[in-house]
């Protein structure tokens, strides 16, 4: 298999990655055949996966604009993935000039591509780190340079927590990150769920099995389980809802049924 020029030398291009699969769903070009193959296998069971990915991105952009309108000018995007159209720094910068953004991901392709996209941008940086090591994220020099934790921050955890198994304590990781945030900060979150999916769970479960097979388990949680991530936050209206129903810019009724798979919400620290 030929290694593309943009692929870092230290990655195994024979092993699929969830961030590169997601890039494929979004129509990106920073993925390998092994990623496309896994994505196509999952789409055999849940053909609407690209629509779900786009609904996540659309919610993310609305939530960033909301945060900017609330006066927040610093964003910590964990599990940011491979840069694509309408990135957080573009949306935040348009809504609030001078906004500062730090992207965090553990996929070397996502980090390398982010570095090339952000070269020369003094208000934006990227950290190679893992959500499950919050202290490393918070102590990273890029975070210390750009994010003032004594002022409100928007913490973005979009389409990442469903890749963390309960045994790895995602609730603890979120609580530790939340504990470092100043009052008035926002937690912006989406999470996959069988609830709202226009398919029987048994069929959707076959797509989940594909992720299990590539050793990136996809954990489908209930609305109640997802709501637990917001403990200690006041929910922003309309609360924890299917993605198209969170402060929509177009009629949710016009959305593809797959866009309603999973939940989105924004909480504010007291």
DSSP, res 238: T
pLDDT digits over 136-150, tens only? 999 999 999 999 999
Q: In this structure, is residue 74 part of a structural domain?
A: yes
pLDDT of residue 2: 67
Q: In this structure, is residue 3 part of a structural domain?
A: no
Residue 235 and residue 28 in contact, taking contact as beta carbons nearer than 8 Å:
no
Domain residues for the domain of 262 are 18-269
pLDDT digits over 43-102, tens only? 999 999 999 999 999 999 999 999 999 999 999 999 999 888 789 999 999 999 999 999
Q: In this structure, is residue 12 part of a structural domain?
A: no
Q: Say which CATH number the domain at 69 has.
A: 3.40.50.150
pLDDT of residue 270: 84
Q: In this structure, is residue 7 part of a structural domain?
A: no
Give the rounded distance of the alpha carbon of 264 from its chain centre. Answer: 11
Q: In this structure, is residue 72 part of a structural domain?
A: yes
pLDDT digits over 161-170, tens only? 999 999 999 9
Q: In this structure, is residue 70 part of a structural domain?
A: yes
Report how many domains make up the chain. Answer: 1
Q: In this structure, is residue 10 part of a structural domain?
A: no
Mean pLDDT throughout 161-182? 98
This prediction has a pTM of 0.95
Label residue 26 by pLDDT band (50, 70, 90): very high
**At which residue do the structure tokens 């008035």 appear?**
184
Residues 6+ apart with CB under 8 A from 175: 231, 232
Say whether pLDDT at 117 is over 90. Answer: no
Q: In this structure, is residue 8 part of a structural domain?
A: no
Say whether pLDDT at 12 is over 80. Answer: no
d(C-alpha 250, C-alpha 259), whole Å: 13
pLDDT above 70: percentage of residues in the chain = 97
């Amino acid at each position: 298999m030929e290694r593309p020029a943009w692929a870092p030398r230290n990655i195994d291009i024979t092993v699929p990655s969830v961030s590169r699969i997601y890039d494929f769903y979004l129509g990106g070009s920073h993925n390998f055949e092994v990623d496309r193959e896994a994505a196509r296998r999952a789409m055999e069971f849940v053909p609407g996966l690209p629509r779900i990915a786009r609904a996540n991105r659309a919610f993310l952009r609305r939530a960033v604009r909301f945060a900017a309108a609330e006066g927040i000018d610093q964003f910590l995007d964990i599990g940011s993935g491979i840069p694509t159209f309408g990135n957080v720094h573009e949306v935040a910068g348009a809504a609030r000039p001078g906004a500062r953004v730090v992207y965090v991901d553990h996929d070397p392709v996502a980090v390398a591509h982010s570095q090339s996209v952000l070269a020369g941008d003094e208000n934006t940086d990227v950290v190679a780190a893992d959500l499950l090591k919050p202290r490393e994220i918070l102590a990273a020099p890029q975070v210390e340079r750009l994010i003032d934790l004594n002022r409100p921050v928007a913490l973005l955890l979009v389409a990442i927590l469903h890749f963390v198994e309960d045994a790895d304590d995602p609730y603890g990781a979120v609580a530790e990150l939340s504990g470092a945030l100043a009052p008035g900060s926002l937690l912006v979150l989406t999470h996959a769920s069988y609830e709202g999916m226009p398919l029987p769970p048994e069929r959707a479960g076959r797509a989940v099995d594909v992720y299990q097979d590539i050793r990136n388990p996809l954990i489908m949680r209930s609305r109640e389980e997802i709501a637990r991530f917001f403990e200690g936050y006041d929910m922003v209206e309309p609360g924890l809802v299917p993605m198209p129903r969170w402060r929509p810019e177009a009629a949710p009724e016009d959305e593809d049924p797959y866009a309603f798979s999973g939940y989105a919400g924004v909480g504010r620290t007291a």
